[in-house]
Structure 1
Amino acid sequence: MTNWWPPLMLVGSWLALLALLALTVTLAYLPLGSFNSAVAIVIAAIKATIVAVFFMELRDRGARLLIFAGAGLFWLGILLWLGLMDFMTRAPA
Structure 2
Amino acid sequence: MSEQTHAEPITPFRVLVMVWVALLCATALTVWASTVNLGRLNVWLALSIAVLKSSLVLAVFMRLRQESPLFFRMFLVTVATLATFIGLLFFDVPFR
TM-score interval, normalised by the smaller of the two chains: 0.7 to 0.9
Q: Kindly provide the amino acid, as one letter, of the partner of residue 42 in structure 2.
A: N
Displacement after TM superposition at 1:85 (Å): 2.4
Alpha-carbon distance between aligned partners in 2 of 1:76 and 1:14, rounded to the nearest angstrom: 27
Matched-pair identity in %: 31
Instruction: Tell me the C-alpha RMSD between the 2 structures.
Output: 1.7
User: What is the SS of the residue equivalent to 2:28?
Assistant: helix
Q: How do residues 40-51 of structure 1 correspond to structure 2 at under 5 angstroms?
A: 40-51=46-57
Is 1:61 the equivalent of 2:67? Answer: yes
Displacement after TM superposition at 1:54 (Å): 0.7
Is 1:36 the equivalent of 2:5? Answer: no
Q: Which has the higher contact order (CA 8 A, sep 6+)?
A: 1
Q: How do residues 1-93 of structure 1 correspond to structure 2 at under 5 angstroms?
A: 7-86=13-92, 88-91=93-96
Q: Kindly provide the amino acid, as one letter, of the partner of residue 41 in structure 2.
A: F
Alpha-carbon distance between aligned partners in 2 of 1:37 and 1:82, rounded to the nearest angstrom: 18
When normalised by structure 2's length, the TM-score is 0.76
Displacement after TM superposition at 1:60 (Å): 0.7
Q: Which runs of 4+ in 1 moved over 3 A?
A: none
When normalised by structure 1's length, the TM-score is 0.79
Number of aligned positions between the proteins: 85
* Runs (5+) with no aligned partner, structure 2: 1-11
Displacement after TM superposition at 1:49 (Å): 1.0
